[in-house]
Chains A and B, each alone.
Chain A
């Protein structure tokens, strides 16, 4: 696993007519990772993904994708980037096989046998009509088409949203299969933190248009601890940063980010779940924004 950046955002701001979607976002996506982009609705996730995919230009700041800075050159760059948005567009009048033919014609790079293998694995027939597919199958076909173009960077906007558990499992497994086969970097947005724990190894949290966390997932889990504390407590372990203060007079907690592992037995530390960490950063992002 090399660590050079597949996507770099530097000071990226995106302003729509009435609304600022992204504010001074700086971010580096390392190669070969499965990156989760997490945040509330309207936090700027979709805008960030569209900018990475070259579908939206930032209002200011610099974007570099696959070593290429500036607007994406359609011919050479776009074929290396796969993008699937929330609507999972397929032609409703087509059969699945006809979707494959259309995809083969419109994509510079196309792996037909991979597409057929995946569909067979999912139990979706080439003669099935798109309009008769279930929501889960629709998402699975859309992802299969995207995977068969064998992109170096795969950008998925809520790929598993609104799927039943079985369809979700099949879809994510398909995605992980592709990751285990080759050199692909995946950036996906999601609200399902369980999925993040299972399939992602890098986490980006966006709150109110800002990047509030971007790091290795295991590192994030290891470097955060909950400390039992009350209002009377004023001292934290050395080098600890308070992410969220929820102390009461009788009992309470402080979420800390630790520089070094704390070995001192005097601290009553507990391991937070990913939900607790992410929610703390999302709430914190909201307060930072209210102050500015």
Chain B
């Protein structure tokens, strides 16, 4: 019997973002959107390796990172679970509204979508690079 995985991972190998960080971000997004809820079990390392072609050490590392973030907990012999207290953040809708305002503002100044996207990418790259 196979259990339906709670999250489907994917890897963008061209992105230049370390694979373990891609997994961490995908879990964060799944939690934010409510696809993953408190108490949900993350797929075992072996199952992730069966899902995407990935080094098991990388999956371990991502899960460890998520534990450090206080988002998931390892229960010995059982697996890795999303912490009970974790719920989809309300802060997200606020952020989204802020982003909508920012986009409206930029459009009002005649900035094209392509330029907007480039600005967004540059800002993220600058942020990442300075970490």
Contacts and interface: CB of A to CB of B under 8 A. Distances in A.
Interface of A: 1, 32-34, 169, 172-173, 176-177, 179-181, 194, 197-201, 217-218, 221-222, 225, 261-265, 267-274
Interface of B: 11, 13-20, 45-46, 49-50, 52-58, 61, 125-126, 128-131
A221 B54 CA distance: 17
B20 A218 contact: yes
Contacts of A222: 18
A198 B57 contact: no
A116 B72 CA distance: 36
Contacts of B58: 201
A180 B56 contact: yes
A179 B53 contact: no
Contacts of B14: 194, 273
Contact of B49 (A173, A217, A218): A173
Given A177-B46, A273-B16, A274-B16, A261 B11 contact: no
A201 B50 CA distance: 18
A268 B126 contact: yes
A67 to B, nearest CB: 22
Contacts of B129: 225, 262, 267, 269-271
A34 B16 contact: no
B55 A221 contact: no
A197 B57 contact: no
A221 B129 CA distance: 11
B55 A34 contact: yes
B19 A265 contact: no
A265 B56 CA distance: 36
A34 B57 contact: yes
A177 B57 contact: no
B54 A176 contact: yes
B131 A179 contact: no
